[in-house]
């Protein structure tokens, strides 16, 4: 094994770790809009806590659109406030995305650690000099930093997507 092949192997494995993360995040989405999304929402309707289903009718004209038609137009402001303040499911999904992102970072760091051990083994066996080891470890760190930054970018994008209203 040479320094170049060790670095290429590490890069390939890190690319695969990012690919796995992207696949996992693709499966996390807010999904199709259904009236069930609002099942736990209660509205302060003239001082009384009332389930939103009792105050409006619902329809789903498109997969990402939920139309709420209130029976009493005076309740619109209270209904809007209740809906906007109840981001429970969305917050859980955001936590999951950040957790998966951390798992991806850990995978990349584990690949770096394994590759560093391989490079140190090469140096011990006399395959490369001390200077080559230091140079290759710096290069390995650059590759790792690049992949961690890419993971951060993927997680931030998914985070923005989930928080989009």
d(CA 2, CA 31): 47
Residue 45, φ and ψ in degrees, nearest 5: -110, 100
CATH number at residue 70: 3.30.1360.40
Same-domain pairing of 73 and 107: no
d(CA 2, CA 122): 8
Output the pTM of the full model: 0.70
First to last CA, the chain: 51
**Within a domain: 34:** no
Residue 125: its pLDDT value, please?
92
Per-residue pLDDT of the chain (165 residues; tens, 9 = 90+): 788 999 999 999 999 999 999 998 887 766 667 787 787 889 999 999 999 999 999 988 888 788 999 999 999 999 989 988 876 677 888 899 999 999 999 999 999 999 999 999 999 998 899 999 999 999 999 999 999 999 999 999 999 888 875
What domain count does the chain have?
A: 2
**Within a domain: 45:** yes
Same-domain pairing of 54 and 127: no
Residue 88: its pLDDT value, please?
62
117: which strand partners?
A: none
Residue 33: its pLDDT value, please?
74
d(CA 161, CA 165): 9
CATH number at residue 11: 1.10.132.20
């Amino acid at each position: 094994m040479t320094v170049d092949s060790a670095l290429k192997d590490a890069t390939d494995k890190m690319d695969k770790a990012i690919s796995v993360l992207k696949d996992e995040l693709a499966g996390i989405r807010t999904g199709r809009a259904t009236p069930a999304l609002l099942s736990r929402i209660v509205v302060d309707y003239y001082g009384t806590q009332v389930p939103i289903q009792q105050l409006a009718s619902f329809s789903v004209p498109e997969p990402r659109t939920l139309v709420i038609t209130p029976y009493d137009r005076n309740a619109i402001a209270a209904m809007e406030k209740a809906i906007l303040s109840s981001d429970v499911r969305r917050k859980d999904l955001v936590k999951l995305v950040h957790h998966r992102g951390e798992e991806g970072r850990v995978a990349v760091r584990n690949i770096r650690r394994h590759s560093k051990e391989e490079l140190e083994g090469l140096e011990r066996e006399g395959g490369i000099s001390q200077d080559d080891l230091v140079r290759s470890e710096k290069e390995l760190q650059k590759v790792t930093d690049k992949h961690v930054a890419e993971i951060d970018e993927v997680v931030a994008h998914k985070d923005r997507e989930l928080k989009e209203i």
